[in-house]
Structure 1
Amino acid sequence: MFRPQKLLFALAVTALTTISSNLWAAGFENIIVSTDKDAETTQNSFAADTPKIFVSADLTEDVASGSKVNIAWIAVDTGGVAPANYKIDEVNLDITSMINQVNSDITKPNNGWPVGTYKIEFSVNGKAMESVGFTIK
C-alpha cells in the first residue's frame, strides 16, 4: 500500500539532514590555548602578567582550500576596563591545500591583562564556527 505521508516524511528528513550538514560543514578541532606555542594540552586561565597566549586548531577536512579563516581575540567581560565583547586583535588566513592547522598569538598589554573573561572566535568565510573561552585571574 502506497503511503504519501511516509514518502513526504522521508524526503523532509533527507532535506533537513543535507541542510544541517552543509551549515556545519567547516570547522575546527583540537583547539589548544596555552602559554606554550607547541603545547599539547589547553589552559583555561592565565595570570595577568602572562607574556603571550597562543592558540592552535586543526582544520576539519571540510575547510576547503580557498577558504578565508579569521581568528579573533575578544575581551568578553573585563569589569569595565574594555567595552563588553571588545575585539582586541584578529588574524586573517587564506587556506591552501597545504594548511591543516591554524595558529595565532597575542602579547600582553603594557599594563598587563585585565582580569576577566575572554574568548577566541574562529570564523570561515565570515561565518563564526567555533569559539573557546579563557579567563585572566
Structure 2
Amino acid sequence: MRCPQLLFTLAVTALTAVSSGVWAAGFENIIVSAETDADTTQDSFAKDTPKIFVSAELTEEVPSGSKVNISWIAVDTGGAAPPNYKIDEVNLDITSMINHVNSAMTKPNNGWPVGTYKIEFSVNGKPMESVGFTVK
C-alpha cells in the first residue's frame, strides 16, 4: 500500500561497464544529487526539486549473481508518511558487466514533504550501505 502523499515515479537504470581491478568492500562513491551524473553529493534539497538521483559503484562485496536492492525511505516527514516509510524500491540482478547502479525519484505533485530521508543499499537481503538527505 502506498501513502497518497508520496506517490513517486521510480526511474532505475543499471549502467554497464567492464569491471577493472579489485574494489574495496561495500558500495563506493555514493552520490545523491539533483543532477544526473553529478560528481558531488548533496545532503539537502528544496521541496520543488524535480528529481533526486542516486548513483553508486559496486565493489567486490557485490559479485556477479548478486541481487541488489535500492530502497527510498521517508524517515521523518512530519506526518506526511509514517516514520521509516519505504516509498519505493528497485531490485537489480548484477552481472559481470555491471559495476555501477543508478536510481531516481521524481517529485510528487505537491512537492517533496519536508523531512529526512534515506536510501538503503542491500545485497542478497543484507543491508550494506545507506545515505541520508533532507528536504527543506
Say yes or no: TM over 0.5: yes
Give the residue type in structure 2 aligned to 1:62. E
Deviation track 1:20-66 (CA, whole Å, cap 9, x = no partner) reads: xxxxx962010000011110000000000011000000011231100
Structure 2 counterpart of 1:97: 96
CA distance in 1, matches of 2:98, 2:51: 24
CA distance in 1, matches of 2:94, 2:77: 33
CA distance in 2, matches of 1:88, 1:107: 12
1:18-97 alignment, distance < 5 Å: 27-97=26-96
CA distance in 2, matches of 1:83, 1:63: 31
Where in structure 2 are there 5+ consecutive unaligned residues? Answer: 1-23
Report 1 or 2 for greater relative contact order, CA contacts < 8 Å, sequence distance ≥ 6. 2
Deviation track 1:90-122 (CA, whole Å, cap 9, x = no partner) reads: 111000000001110000111100000000000
> Percent same amino acid at aligned positions?
85
Where in structure 1 are there 5+ consecutive unaligned residues? Answer: 1-24
CA distance in 1, matches of 2:52, 2:61: 27
CA distance in 1, matches of 2:130, 2:78: 21
Give the residue type in structure 2 aligned to 1:80. G
- The structure whose residues are more often strand, as a share, is 2
CA distance in 2, matches of 1:125, 1:43: 28
8 Å CA contact 1:26–1:124 kept in 2: the answer is no
1:104-115 alignment, distance < 5 Å: 104-115=103-114
Q: Quick check: which has more Rg, 1 or 2?
A: 1
- The structure whose residues are more often helix, as a share, is 1
Structure 1 counterpart of 2:11: none
